Each structure stands twice: as structure tokens, then as C-alpha cells.
Amino acid sequence: MPDNPQQTLWTKVDDYITGTLPHNDAALTAAIAANTAAGLPSIDVAPNQGKFLHLLARVMGAHRILEIGTLGGYSSIWMARALPADGQLITLEFEAKHAAVALSNLTRAGLSHLVEIRIGPALDSLAHLAETSAAPFDMIFIDADKQNNAAYLDWAIQLSRPGTLIICDNVVREGHLADHNSDDTAVTATRQMFSDAGANPRLCATALQTVGSKGHDGFFLAVVLPK
């Protein structure tokens, strides 16, 4: 991201938030270090954003969480920590290498018994979940390849119940979300997701812009309504 005074300020504020309201601990810090050592891209949620996901899961009283896009399991740790003892988080990851790092991180954090990592194309895993899942998910976090955001939203709705919370990360795309002339497939797919959500009577949705150590971006949030 560009080195500019605004970014410096955003990062400084994030550092203050995470320093004043503790977010990372030994297991989370070790997960970030392991991800870096394994050469994974540095695209995890920021610590305060991870805590945000944790709080959402707690507010929801979530027992079953679906995550689309595991990477090294940093956000998985945050959300799994909000689960009760009989809860479950299923997380979908395309890259076997990423999944192996995530499993190691989750094991170190003492959470592997709550989390199932499924490896392969997420769209295939989602189709299989729709065929075999015994219960809907209470919360679904989408943070994978942005080109499939609209398709991921469709599957999320199918795997939901009335009251399920759906969150999608990285939707503002440094402001490019508002550019209707963009030919970036990550932008066009995300705009399609917004259009689909706005036209779907089963969703009550909004989005929030965020600034911080990860730059200018934002979250999409939707609650699934009864049919």
C-alpha cells in the first residue's frame, strides 16, 4: 500500500487501539510469525479486525461458523475462540500448504478440536456442504478470492438460517468499489455481490468502510431474513 501521511496516521491509530485494548496474545503472535516464515501473503485481518469478528461471533451466540478462505488460520483462531465447547468452525482453503500452516497454528492455540479445514476449490466445498451439512451456519465469513464474491454470497445464503450473519472482507478495494468503469474482476464481482444483496428480499445488508494498518477497505455485513 502507498507510503503516505494518511496511511501513517491510520497505522498509528490501529497501533494505539491494539496496544490499549489487548488483541494479540502468544498464540496469535506465533500464528502471524509462522505465516510469515512459511511465505504466506500478509493479508490476514488486522488484530482489531480479528477481535471484531470474535465479538460478532459472541454476540451471535454462534455454535456453527463457516469461513471461506483460511490462509494461515489467524482469523480462524479469533472466531473459534468465540465458540462454545460443542461448537464447530469449518474453514475452506484452496492451498494445501496454507491449510497445513493453519492446522499447526490452530493446534498451537488449542483449537484444532473445534475447527475442520477442508482443502480444495471453495465452490466445490460449498456445493458439498450444501448436500451434506446437517445444520445451517450461524455466522459465515467470506475472505477468499474476490472474483467469486457474488457466488460465495449465493452459497452463504443457501447454507444459512433466518438470523445468520454473513460478513465479507475487503469489499471497498481502496475505493474502487465505487468505480463502475473498473475492469478489475475483484471489483466487478464485489459490485455484483452488492447488487445481488440489494435486490434480495432475504437479506438486510450494509457495508462499512475501514481505514487502518491494512489501508482503506471495508466489510460487507448482512443478516438473513425469513423467506
Q: Given this model, what pLDDT does residue 103 score?
A: 98
User: Across residues 52-67, what is the average pLDDT?
Assistant: 98
Confidence band for 67, pLDDT divided at 50, 70 and 90: very high
Percentage of the chain with pLDDT > 90?
A: 95
Q: pLDDT grade, residue 4 (50/70/90)?
A: confident
Which homologous superfamily is 5-224 in? Answer: Vaccinia Virus protein VP39 (3.40.50.150)
Asked if residue 1 has pLDDT above 70, the reply is no
Task: Using CA atoms of 148, 57, 94, 114 in order, give the dihedral in degrees to the nearest 10.
Answer: -160
pLDDT digits (tens, 9 = 90+) for 78-89: 999 999 999 999
Among the listed residues 50, 60, 90, 45, the one whose alpha carbon sits nearest the alpha carbon of residue 223? 60
Q: What cell numbers appear for 204 in the block? A: 438486510
Average pLDDT over residues 6-12: 94
CB distance 117 to 70 below 8 Å: yes
What does each C-alpha distance from 200 to 2, 144, 196, 208, 223 come to in angstroms?
36, 22, 6, 19, 11
pLDDT of residue 20: 93
CB 106 within 8 A of CB 115: yes
Confidence (pLDDT) at 51: 96
pLDDT digits (tens, 9 = 90+) for 179-192: 999 999 999 999 99
- Can you give the length of the chain in residues? 227
pTM score of the predicted model? 0.95
Query: Does pLDDT of 171 surpass 70?
Result: yes
The pLDDT of 144-157, averaged and rounded, is 97
Rounded to whole angstroms, how far apart are CA atoms 178 and 10?
A: 21
| Domain range annotation of the chain | 5-224
**Band of residue 133 on the pLDDT scale cut at 50, 70, 90:** confident
Query: What is the H or E stretch that residue 204 is in?
Result: strand 203-212
- Say whether 1 sits in a helix, a strand or coil: coil
pLDDT in tens, 93-129: 999 999 999 999 999 999 999 999 999 999 999 999 9
**What count of other Cβ atoms lies within 10 Å of the Cβ of residue 13?**
14
pLDDT for 124? 97
pLDDT at site 134: 75
pLDDT value for 78: 98
Judge whether residue 43 has pLDDT over 60: yes
Confidence of residue 3 (pLDDT cuts 50, 70, 90): low
By the 10 Å C-beta count (0-12 exposed, 13-18 middle, 19+ buried), 140 is classed as buried
In this predicted structure, the answer to whether residue 2 has a pLDDT above a threshold of 60 is: no
